[in-house]
Amino acid sequence: MTPDIDRLLLEAGPYEPGVFLIQKCVFLEEGKNANRAGRCENLSYGGVGVAMGTPYEKDSWETGLKSDYDEEFIVTTTTIDKWGHTISVVPYFFIDYIQMKQKYVDGSVGVQDFQKHSTPMAMWLGRSIYQLFKIMREWSFMVDEPFNSDHPMATYSKMAYEMLEVPQDILEEIDAMPDMHLAKFLKGQSDYRLIPAHPPMSDQFKNWILETCAKYPELSFNERLEKGLEIQ
């Protein structure tokens, strides 16, 4: 289930339910690269965390798997209220929307405050699509000099910006936004986990994101399979 237009364009604050994130698109085979049984995308293309299968895997959450940082928070199928592919660039990546309905493993309900989590993936998530594109913009530069990073968040962020062919005026708007976590951390700011206030999305950004979602819509099981096989 993808978010409706109102949620997609919402000027979300730190405590707004739901997050946007980039996930890598892989051909899922139960027992091989799907860490839980019963996934509806089994034997088709689905999304998994960008860090899965890399040395950074334990820096992230995945359904049924804990990070190395948070003992109290586990993502399970019963804690997910809404989930869907907002942008589907099969077989490369997805921009997903996920909304949790429970806060902790004891079942207590509430909006997850990712600003308080020590798991690094908490800083890869955008409460709004606007925040996510700023986060990915900062990570995309890490692939190049002087960082030369192999971090999957950097790799997939750069891939997304290149494949989505983000227009120059949108790039300039995103670059003018307040720094998010990575840039704040690199500048030595102690409050780097906190989400800063952002200016409203421009009409240009809103139009571009709606056009991009329409260009890369959520696909059915068979459509994802056909698209992936077509490109391979």
* Block residue for tokens 């906190």: 194
Q: Measured in whole angstroms, how far is the alpha carbon of residue 207 from the centre of its chain?
A: 20
pTM attached to this predicted model: 0.84
* Block residue for tokens 């091989």: 32
Query: DSSP code of 76?
Result: -
Residues 103-155: tens digit of each pLDDT: 554 555 555 667 777 778 788 889 899 999 999 999 999 999 999 999 999 99
The domain limits of the chain are 5-11+18-221
**Dist. CA 205–CA 108, nearest whole Å:** 37
Residues 80-114: tens digit of each pLDDT: 677 788 999 999 999 999 887 655 545 555 556 67
Residues 34-66: tens digit of each pLDDT: 555 445 555 567 788 898 888 988 887 766 666
Nearest one of 133, 33, 36 to 75, comparing CA atoms: 36
